[in-house]
Amino acid sequence: MNGERVTIVDVATRAGVAISSVSSALNGRPGVSEATRERIVQVAAELGFVPSLRGKSLSGRRAFTLGLVLHRDPDVLELDPFFGGFIGGIEDAIDPRGYALVLQISAEPDEVLQRYEKLAADRRVDGVFVNDLEVDDPRIPVITRLGLPAVAVNPGADFPLPAVRQDPDDGIRALLQHLVGLGHRRIAYVGGRPNMTHSVQRERAWRAGLEELGLEPGPVVPGDFTYLAGASAASTLLGLAEPPTAVVCANDLSAIGLIAQAQHLGVDVPGTLSVAGFDDIRLGTYVRPPLTTVHTSPRELGRHAGRLLVDLIEEGVAEDVRIPAAELIVRESTGPAPAAG
C-alpha cells in the first residue's frame, strides 16, 4: 500500500467492519453501535485518515476520470438493456462535478483484472464502478489491494465496498401475487447466468415469494439471460408431462425469446401460458403480446453510483444507497390460468 493513500478501505479492513459502517461512524449517522463507532474513529485516527482534508490534498493529482470496465463480448453488447441507461445516469451525476467516464470492454475475465491493474498503475482514473457482480467476484480483492476507490452496483449482502442497490424482492413478490390471483399454481422459473449476483437474487426472490404464498416452486430451467436461452426453455417446459401455466424469467430478453418459441410451437400466450420478464426494457413494450415485467432503474442506479464515487474520491467516504424497489408492470403476456386439463 502506498503510504500517501490511506483509504476508507484501509480503515474498514483494520477495524473489521463494512465501509458503509466507517462512513456512518465518521459522519455521525445512525447504523453503527456506539462501541463500533468508537473503534472506527480510533482506527481512522491511528491511520491518519481524515476524509475531507485528504480529498483536498489530493485534488492536484487527480485525473478527473472514472473507470467502467465491462466484462462482455463487444459483439453482443448491442442487446444489453442495462448499459445505456446506466452510463447515462453516471454521466448525469459526474459531468457537473467535472469528471468524465473512461469505458473499457473486455471479453476475457483475466483481461478485466489486468485492466483494473493498468488503470490504477497509470493513474488513469480516480476510481472505478463495479457492476455485473459475480458470486465471490475476483475483481474485489484486486480493487481493494490497488486501493482504488470503487462503487458497486447490486452486490450481495455484507459487501466490502460502497454500493447502490435496487432490491428485486418486492417486484417479484407482486408478480407472483398477480399470477396466483389469476389462478396459476404451477409457476416455473428460467434462470440467468448462475454465477451472477443478480441471478442469485432474482431466483431466491422467486422461490421465497412462492413459499410465502404456500406454493411449491415449479420447475427451474437454467439460462443465461439470452433470447436463445429463453427460446430453448420454452421447448423444455412445454415438453414436460405437466407443463407450467406460468413462467417467470430472469430477464426480459429471455422472456421474449420464450414467448416467440412458444408461439412458434402453436402455444398461445397468455391463453395457455403466461410469461413474465424482469428489467422493463423498451423492446418488451413492442413485442406481441406486450410483456408483463418488473421495472428496474438503470439510470437511477447510474446517477447514485456516480454521485457516490465522486463523494468517495473527494470526501473519502460514501454511504450505501438503496433506491426504491423494482416494481411490477402488468401488460398482456400474463392472463388467467387455463382450466385444469
Count of beta carbons in the 10 Å neighbourhood of residue 194: 14
The least distance separating its own copies from the CB of residue 155, rounded to whole angstroms, comes to 23
Q: Could you say whether residue 109 binds its own copies (CB under 8 A)? A: no
Question: Which residues, including other chains, have CB under 8 Å from residue 147's CB and lie 6 or more apart?
Answer: 1, 2, 5, 7, 9, 10, 120
Nearer to its own copies, 192 or 218 (CB): 192
Q: Could you say whether residue 236 binds its own copies (CB under 8 A)? A: no
Nearer to its own copies, 1 or 103 (CB): 103
Given 15, 17, 25, 81, the residue binding its own copies (CB under 8 A) = 81
Contact segment (CB under 8 A) with its own copies among 68-76, 188-196, 240-248, 315-323 equals 68-76
Given 41, 62, 91, 219, the residue binding its own copies (CB under 8 A) = 91
The least distance separating its own copies from the CB of residue 274, rounded to whole angstroms, comes to 20
Q: Mask: binding to its own copies, 120-139, rule CB under 8 A, as x and -?
A: ----x---------------
Q: Could you say whether residue 83 binds its own copies (CB under 8 A)? A: yes
Residue 314 host element (H or E): helix 298-315
- The torsion angles phi and psi of 167, rounded to 5 degrees, stand at -75, 135
Dihedral over Cα of 207, 209, 213, 219: its sign: negative
- Residue bearing cell 477495524: 15
Indicate left, alpha or beta for 2 from its phi (over 0: left) and psi (-120 to 50: alpha).
beta
What does the alpha-carbon distance between residue 37 and residue 96 come to, in Å, rounded to a whole number? 33
Dihedral over Cα of 217, 222, 224, 225: its sign: negative
Yes or no: say if 230 and 255 are a contact pair by the CB < 8 Å rule: yes
Q: Could you say whether residue 78 binds its own copies (CB under 8 A)? A: yes
How many residues bind its own copies (CB under 8 A)? The answer is: 43
Q: Could you say whether residue 257 binds its own copies (CB under 8 A)? A: yes
Q: Could you say whether residue 235 binds its own copies (CB under 8 A)? A: no
Q: Work out the end-to-end distance of the chain between its first and last CA atoms, rounded to an integer number of angstroms.
A: 67
What does the alpha-carbon distance between residue 111 and residue 129 come to, in Å, rounded to a whole number? 16
Q: Mask: binding to its own copies, 269-288, rule CB under 8 A, as x and -?
A: ------------xxx--xxx
Q: Could you say whether residue 338 binds its own copies (CB under 8 A)? A: no
Q: Could you say whether residue 101 binds its own copies (CB under 8 A)? A: yes
- The torsion angles phi and psi of 190, rounded to 5 degrees, stand at -110, 120
Q: Could you say whether residue 80 binds its own copies (CB under 8 A)? A: yes
Contact residues toward its own copies (CB under 8 A) are: 64-65, 72, 74-85, 87-89, 91-92, 95, 100-105, 119, 124, 227-228, 231, 257, 260, 263-264, 281-283, 286-288, 299
